[in-house]
Structure 1
Amino acid sequence: MKIPKATLCTLTASISCIVGVAEAGAFKVPIHRNERHRPNTRAHAFKTLKKYGHHHRLSPRAFGRQPVTDVENDVEYYGIVGIGTPPQMFKLDMDTGSSDLWVPSLKCDRHNIKCARHTRFNPSLSSTIVELQTPWKIGYGDGSTVSGHLAVDRIEFAEIAIENQLFGMADRESSSFLDDVVDGVFGLGFPSLSALIIENQKEAEAKAKGPISNTVLSSILNHELVPAPVFGVWLGNGDGPTTDPNGGDGEFIFGSIDTSRFEGELTFLPITNRKYWQIKVDGVKLDRQMDMSIHGDTIIDTGTTLLVFPIAHAKKINKAIGAVSDPWEGWVLPCDSNRVGSLDFEMGGSRFSVQRKDLVREQVKNKAGWCYSAVTATPGDVMIFGDVFIRNNYCVFDVEHLSIGLAPIRRQ
């Protein structure tokens, strides 16, 4: 699908115009739905809390039992990324909530045979690989980890090619990653969040025979590979325009946006924390009438599935939509709950909604007639808007002006 020529201007003088012209060199990355996906709301919630280091602060009453998570069900969308020369192809979680690129190495299955389920990077097959001795490790709140060593090589996604990209080769993965359907992570967060650190940058760049980019986001900007320092995200939800003819159930567009995916004009909101894609929420209402008296900051995170709120706010919203707290399952509501209306978020003088039908998720096993709520809780004080929100609202991540543009998606 060609992107219509359009010039989109923000509503404030501090943010300049973005030219959305596909012919100028924008690049689309089709996002593929996980064919083996089975909804698992409890797992989504627990995965989110692990990601942000809050899960260990939950009491059994707040979330029920700590689930044994079938993590492959947490990944609904992934992009195809090539690493090396010739490229070795990987299914990667394209995640605005993290900043690093990593994939399994050939050594991974030596420590756990489950790793053989994934595509593993073979450095002997790449003519451009530069392996570094620097160890690398990412730790999560529950003690789960990914570790290995750093490497530098060429990466390809869509029609973009980046030379000398730093990435992690995972020699060891904890079970949550070994059981995941994706091979690794393609972080699109800010460099300040990165865990990939080269001990001797000059020495490494001498081996690579050129500058090394530590994150994909910095690579795109430093090498001026796209016509504008932005990327747009659309995730299909079954009631919008048909899926992209090039394949996939969603897309990331680097260097431009697709105006056919949303209604009206984009509202741009400034980033409130340069560590995350985090913006301010001025208010929350149910069905445009019931004021929840909720405001604060939220992280727009493509790597999270649910709507995550501080505990008191999650309790207030869930009660308003008819959900109850089950001691074993967390927040659940009748599957035949009202699906007309919306949960509305006031941001930057505009309203962005999530349809009520998207707040009712899969049926709870062994609890006939009850389904999981898409609203879950965190002991932290920052909200997290994941794919439930993004499926209802087109998102533009503006790197140059440190802002996020939002507009309701166009529906059939």
Structure 2
Amino acid sequence: MRLLNAIGCCTLIASASCLVVVAVAGGAIKIPIHKNIHYRQNTRARAYKTLKKYGHHQRLSPRDFGHQPVTDVENDVEYYGVVGIGTPPQMFKLDMDTGSSDLWIPSMKCDHDGKCARHSRFDSSLSSTVTELKTPWKIAYGDGSTVSGHLAIDRLEFSEITIENQLIGLADRESSSFLEDVVDGVFGLGFPSLSAMVLEDQKDAEAKVLGPISNTVLSSILSHELIPAPVFGVWLGDGDGEGSDANGDDGEFIFGSIDTSRFEGELTFLPITHSRYWQVQVDGAQLDGIEDLSIKGDTIIDTGTTLLVFPIAQAKKINKAIGAKSDPWEGWILPCDSNQGGSLDFRMGGNLFSVRRKDLVREKVPKQEGWCYSAVTTTPGNTIIFGDVFIRNNYCVFDVEHMTIGIAPVKRRHH
């Protein structure tokens, strides 16, 4: 087994080539992940939001996904981390997202007839360390929905780590999908090539803050100089919905190390197939250890996605195998009392990684007694996306140095 351990307390003093980062607790940095206590499932909304994120939603026909309009529901966000920005720190609930790369939060300019005020907004006048820039920033989605504003540089704090001069997007305007989210913003953990934040003059900006700027969170915290190892592990609970662990956490991201108490057996490390995303190869799939579903292709391991997303033909094959049907109004649905004792297994790196059948059955379909939504949904693109449904069943390690993802079954408290 390839194991990356924390190797002690790491403290660095600012120089011309490093950021100021202080890590304690044995060198490993843990960020507790919290469940939204008002969470309620909305499979159609989460599927649509994922397709918007990857720019595929407009290519679906009504029969592929469902004819009725889909909107985000306020309570349909399950996990978030709490981070501080500024001096003194202002606290924000952020989506810890391996499928994007930027850190952004709402600014005080964000209003939208008072809708922004339901979120925490960053007040620059209260931070003694902020440097606001005139550089505009914008993320645009396929349907024209956007988050836009201006860039700033300030202090970032999460768990037991502090990063000086972190580049931050201050959102002055947000589309309705973001306004209706429970989270305040996004904490991107993807590769720098995905970043939408570009400084027009990096040297000029660094002269203003008298030091180097961290353009993405990943580049600042996952270098050998800043933490014991350029790696982070993700655990989203034990998958049984039994509540928090002994420390009161519903999940965690751990930087600089991995937590061997969270998984069974050994990690299988898979090479990244494309450095734009945390993306690995799926070599096959089977149902209940018997039926070969002939599923192959690249899959993005995305903590910012809820469901399992497949190209149309593959989604159809899996859903039919688990007993689901395509409803012209609701998309893929299956009997709520479907066989929940088996598993859907994916072959990667010569090993099988499972998603339990019970986790493929989502919330009840309105006005269709006995029918529930399927956790397997459709994209017209070619890429598979494994969201939280997969990650709750499998501990995932994101290794920057070796450009791999390590996966192992989660350890469950109840068998």
Q: TM-score, normalised by structure 1?
A: 0.94
Structure 2 distance, partners of 1:260, 1:248, is 14
Q: For residue 46 of structure 1, what is the aligned residue in structure 2?
A: 48
Give the aligned length. 397
Q: CA deviation at 1:330?
A: 0.3
Instruction: Map 1:11-410 onto structure 2 (within 5 A).
Output: 17-20=3-6, 24-109=26-111, 111-222=112-223, 224-239=225-240, 243-410=244-411
1:98 counterpart letter in structure 2: S
Cα gap change, 1:349/1:240 in structure 2, threshold over 3 Å: closer, same or farther? farther
Q: CA deviation at 1:244?
A: 3.4
Mapped contact 2:308–2:377 kept (Cα < 8 A)? yes
Cα gap change, 1:170/1:242 in structure 2, threshold over 3 Å: closer, same or farther? closer
Mapped contact 2:44–2:70 kept (Cα < 8 A)? no
Structure 1 distance, partners of 2:57, 2:177, is 14
Mapped contact 1:240–1:411 kept (Cα < 8 A)? no
Q: CA deviation at 1:242?
A: 6.4
Mapped contact 2:155–2:165 kept (Cα < 8 A)? yes
Cα gap change, 1:308/1:113 in structure 2, threshold over 3 Å: closer, same or farther? same
Mapped contact 1:240–1:409 kept (Cα < 8 A)? no
Deviates more, 1:116-125 or 1:213-222: 213-222
Q: CA deviation at 1:140?
A: 0.9
Q: For residue 11 of structure 2, what is the aligned residue in structure 1?
A: none
1:199 counterpart letter in structure 2: E
Mapped contact 1:28–1:251 kept (Cα < 8 A)? yes
Q: For residue 13 of structure 1, what is the aligned residue in structure 2?
A: none
Q: CA deviation at 1:239?
A: 2.5
Mapped contact 1:71–1:181 kept (Cα < 8 A)? no
Q: CA deviation at 1:21?
A: 5.9
Q: CA deviation at 1:67?
A: 3.0
Mapped contact 1:131–1:152 kept (Cα < 8 A)? yes
Structure 1 distance, partners of 2:364, 2:149, is 39
Structure 2 distance, partners of 1:112, 1:257, is 44
Structure 2 distance, partners of 1:20, 1:221, is 13
Mapped contact 1:32–1:247 kept (Cα < 8 A)? no
CA deviations on 1:205-246 (whole Å, 9 max, x unpaired) are 011110001100001135833111100000015538862344
Mapped contact 1:148–1:169 kept (Cα < 8 A)? yes
Q: CA deviation at 1:247?
A: 3.0
Cα gap change, 1:138/1:303 in structure 2, threshold over 3 Å: closer, same or farther? same
Mapped contact 1:30–1:244 kept (Cα < 8 A)? no
Mapped contact 1:72–1:182 kept (Cα < 8 A)? no
Mapped contact 2:6–2:228 kept (Cα < 8 A)? no
Deviates more, 1:165-174 or 1:22-31: 22-31
Mapped contact 2:239–2:412 kept (Cα < 8 A)? no
Mapped contact 2:238–2:412 kept (Cα < 8 A)? no
Mapped contact 1:96–1:300 kept (Cα < 8 A)? yes
Q: CA deviation at 1:81?
A: 0.5
2:220 counterpart letter in structure 1: S
1:259 counterpart letter in structure 2: T
Say what the alpha-carbon RMSD is for the aligned residues: 1.4
1:58 counterpart letter in structure 2: L
Q: Which runs of 5+ in 1 are unaligned?
A: 1-7, 10-16
Q: CA deviation at 1:273?
A: 0.5
Structure 2 distance, partners of 1:281, 1:303, is 20
Structure 2 distance, partners of 1:178, 1:112, is 11
Mapped contact 1:43–1:67 kept (Cα < 8 A)? no
Mapped contact 1:241–1:410 kept (Cα < 8 A)? no
CA deviations on 1:364-389 (whole Å, 9 max, x unpaired) are 11111100000001001110000000
Q: TM-score, normalised by structure 2?
A: 0.93
| Seq. identity, % | 77
Mapped contact 1:241–1:261 kept (Cα < 8 A)? no
Q: For residue 14 of structure 1, what is the aligned residue in structure 2?
A: none
Q: CA deviation at 1:18?
A: 1.6
Q: CA deviation at 1:288?
A: 1.3
Structure 1 distance, partners of 2:7, 2:224, is 19
1:112 counterpart letter in structure 2: D
Q: CA deviation at 1:19?
A: 1.9
Structure 2 distance, partners of 1:105, 1:248, is 29
1:196 counterpart letter in structure 2: M
2:259 counterpart letter in structure 1: D
2:272 counterpart letter in structure 1: I
Give the secondary structure class of the aligned counterpart of 2:294: coil
Give the secondary structure class of the aligned counterpart of 2:74: helix
Q: Which runs of 5+ in 2 are unaligned?
A: 9-24
Give the secondary structure class of the aligned counterpart of 1:405: strand
Structure 1 distance, partners of 2:264, 2:243, is 16
Mapped contact 1:91–1:184 kept (Cα < 8 A)? yes
